[in-house]
Structure 1
Amino acid sequence: MSIQYFVVGAGSIGRRHHDNLQALGADSHLIGWRGLDMVTLEAMVAGAENAAVVIATATQIRLDLIEMCGRLDVPFYVEKPLAFQMGELERIYQAAEPVAERSMVGFMMRYHPALRALVEDPVEAYGFTFEIGHDVRQWRQNWRFADSYAASAEGGGVLLDLCHELDMAYCLFPKAELQAVDCVGHADFHGVDFSTRVTLAKDGGPVGSVAMDYLSPKSLRRMQLRGRDEVLDLDWLVPSWVRSDEKGDVLRDWRFDRNDMFLGIMGDFMALAEERETSGNPLIPRFDRVRESCALIAEAWETRRFHGQIEGGFE
């Protein structure tokens, strides 16, 4: 099946998806969202004999685009997070129903080889910790936090920006429920969380936390799992882990390019859109299978409690 792919959103992630689609042999069209109206976009998509849409816009711009895809029976790939309010999430799932089994949410960390290895050989953990931090001012050249989506009280903030960690926690511990979300804000950006810790727990264990921040002077991304028979310390950035039990330590590392995850997830989306077999990844974030994870993110955002503010330095 020959399909035209329309990538809506020409920022860094939209350009990456467009380039990867082309690298995978797709007929891809990159469309900037600013200045574009829904009537024009719908005419473009409807005019294609077969179409698929990649939604790489800001978080608060999801529902109208997904409603369009549902009306036109067009599969879509939508960037994470899907929504930050439960009511919006419900409306999105209703709109997407006609194409839910052929669409995907962009949880590309589900294609990280370390996560897949843990799903295949899990640690029976009573406790877990995820931690990710990076000074947001160092992310990209010629980029200002204050001018970005991240600085918006509606759709911005570190919890939504770095929510892959919540999705990974869900993949490993799907029965752990939200307990608390504690945040530090910023004096100049009301309603935007700069440092957030999410507490998750299940009766009888495990109990764990997911910590995210825009403040760390050193980029870090780590996970710790603690079990009665073994413990694991994983650095997602190397990436490598040390898995230890009474017999000693076992080191394992992976050598791969970060873009391999984006290529993997986009390849599976193309397979869904073109009605071909997918890669077989058991964690494939097919739209109809990730609702609970998306709901966890939206519930966490709605549950945030702010405990003071930092000042200065993020103009």
Structure 2
Amino acid sequence: MSASVVVRGSGSIGQRHARVFRQVGADVALWPVRDRGPAAADAVDEATGARLLDDTSGPDAVRGAALVVVATDTSRHVADALEALDGGAEKVLLEKPVAPTAADAAALTAHLRHTLVWVAAPLRAHEGFRHLHRLVRHLTPPGSAHVWSQSWLPDWRPDRDYRESYSARVDEGGVLRDLVHEIDYAGVLFGAPTLLGAAVETSGPLEIESDQAATLLWSTDRSFTVTARLDYTTRPTSRGVVVQSPGGRLEWDIVRATVRHTTPEGDTTDQVFDLDLDRDIVMGTQARAALDLLPTAPADQRIARGAPATLADGVAAVRLCDEARTTGLADGDRPRPPEEPT
């Protein structure tokens, strides 16, 4: 019998989850947030092929579902995850970020069943990332790393005005929340972070109130120093990480799906992971792991399978973003130099 999956939220990411879980063999139902009126018993979403639910049939479908995917607006992530847990779902896969702030996630982390919550982290499902993780474990510390994700926000959804998207909202959008994936995977590779400094930019070429760019610096409990540059004010898109240590240099180019390993002697090996260029394949890896494993499974097993992040990992990543916003001065908040006397 196929595992039953309910996807809460029918926006672009909810539709992708519905389509991908169907591709991996799950019995998928899509429960939109916006009322479409009562769903007929045999109603099917044309875009995904998933069964359509409404507010009457949705709770019944959640009860006993193998997995509920929460793909709603960030501001309601926690409430929808709690509803799924209390409604009887076996596990929950919560889209990133967990909540607008780490404090907003308190009710979820205090729930008796909080260890059954996954947090979407598809970069962990890349073959290139898993290969990089194996190589990093053999490096000799201390080391340094530079993580970056730089792109142009209007290109994300060309058919929609980016200024009307959640990304533009100061209370639930911004580059730190949107690109929290980089914070998450850096924690897996290099260890738990301690923020040393941050600069957060709210002014720039985009007409939005949320943060458009951020530069962070932190140290880790595995003797790495990490810098991160996150922005959606750059063309062309560039995304990856460079790691350096006495044991050599590693480079992961996410856009090109390549990992380069340079030994201390200067010998270089390049590997290409073509399947990482297909987003549905990557999310399919994450989907299978979310169904097959529990978030309490050993970390090595979760990482090897390309599983999502745990709730604790997801909250930790958001907390670092919170600290960056508190520490970093947005452009509009920077003190102005004194005026020259006339």
Same fold (TM over 0.5): yes
**5+ unaligned residues in a row in structure 1: which ranges?**
274-278, 310-315
SS in 1 for 2:76: coil
User: Could you tell me how far 1:150 is from its partner in structure 2?
Assistant: 0.4
Higher relative contact order (CA 8 A, sep 6+): 1
The aligned residue for residue 100 of structure 1 is 115
The aligned residue for residue 101 of structure 2 is 85
Structure 1 position 16 matched with structure 2 position 30:
no
Distance 1:263 1:285 in 2: 10
SS in 2 for 1:232: strand
AA in 1 matched with 2:16: R
**1:44-90 Cα shifts (integer Å, max 9, x gaps):** 22356631311011111112112212212312111111123222222
The aligned residue for residue 312 of structure 1 is none
Distance 1:128 1:184 in 2: 22
Distance 1:81 1:17 in 2: 16
* 1:236-251 correspondence runs (5 A): 236-245=254-263, 246-251=265-270
SS in 2 for 1:73: coil
1:292/1:226 CA distance change after superposition, 3 Å: same
AA in 2 matched with 1:18: A
User: Could you tell me how far 1:180 is from its partner in structure 2?
Assistant: 2.4
User: Could you tell me how far 1:146 is from its partner in structure 2?
Assistant: 1.0
Distance 1:85 1:47 in 2: 30
1:100/1:41 CA distance change after superposition, 3 Å: farther
**1:225-244 Cα shifts (integer Å, max 9, x gaps):** 01013112221111112221
The aligned residue for residue 62 of structure 1 is 77
AA in 1 matched with 2:318: I
The aligned residue for residue 297 of structure 1 is 318
Matched-pair contact (CA < 8 Å) for 1:9–1:33: yes
* 1:112-127 correspondence runs (5 A): 112-122=126-136, 123-125=139-141, 126-127=143-144
* 1:34-45 correspondence runs (5 A): 34-35=34-35, 41=55, 44-45=58-59
The aligned residue for residue 197 of structure 1 is 215
User: Could you tell me how far 1:107 is from its partner in structure 2?
Assistant: 0.6
Matched-pair contact (CA < 8 Å) for 1:73–1:99: no
Work out the number of aligned pairs and report it.
298
SS in 1 for 2:74: coil
AA in 2 matched with 1:240: T
Distance 1:222 1:50 in 2: 39
User: Could you tell me how far 1:118 is from its partner in structure 2?
Assistant: 2.2
The aligned residue for residue 313 of structure 1 is none
Structure 1 position 73 matched with structure 2 position 88:
yes
User: Could you tell me how far 1:104 is from its partner in structure 2?
Assistant: 1.4
SS in 2 for 1:306: coil
* 1:1-315 correspondence runs (5 A): 2-35=2-35, 41=55, 44-46=58-60, 50-51=64-65, 52-74=67-89, 75-95=91-111, 97-98=112-113, 100-101=115-116, 103-122=117-136, 123-125=139-141, 126-186=143-203, 188-190=207-209, 192-202=210-220, 205-245=223-263, 246-256=265-275, 257-272=278-293, 280-282=301-303, 285=307, 289-304=310-325, 305-308=328-331
Distance 1:108 1:286 in 2: 7
Distance 1:255 1:183 in 2: 34
- Structure with the greater alpha carbon radius of gyration: 2
My pick for the range that moved more, 294-303 or 154-163, is: 294-303
Distance 1:142 1:258 in 2: 19
Distance 1:208 1:128 in 2: 5
User: Could you tell me how far 1:133 is from its partner in structure 2?
Assistant: 0.8
**Percent of paired sites with the same residue:** 21
SS in 1 for 2:199: strand
Matched-pair contact (CA < 8 Å) for 1:232–1:241: yes
User: Could you tell me how far 1:181 is from its partner in structure 2?
Assistant: 2.7
My pick for the range that moved more, 77-86 or 115-124, is: 115-124
User: Could you tell me how far 1:28 is from its partner in structure 2?
Assistant: 1.1
SS in 1 for 2:303: coil
**5+ unaligned residues in a row in structure 2: which ranges?**
38-53, 295-299, 333-342
Distance 1:282 1:222 in 2: 18
Distance 2:110 2:56 in 1: 19
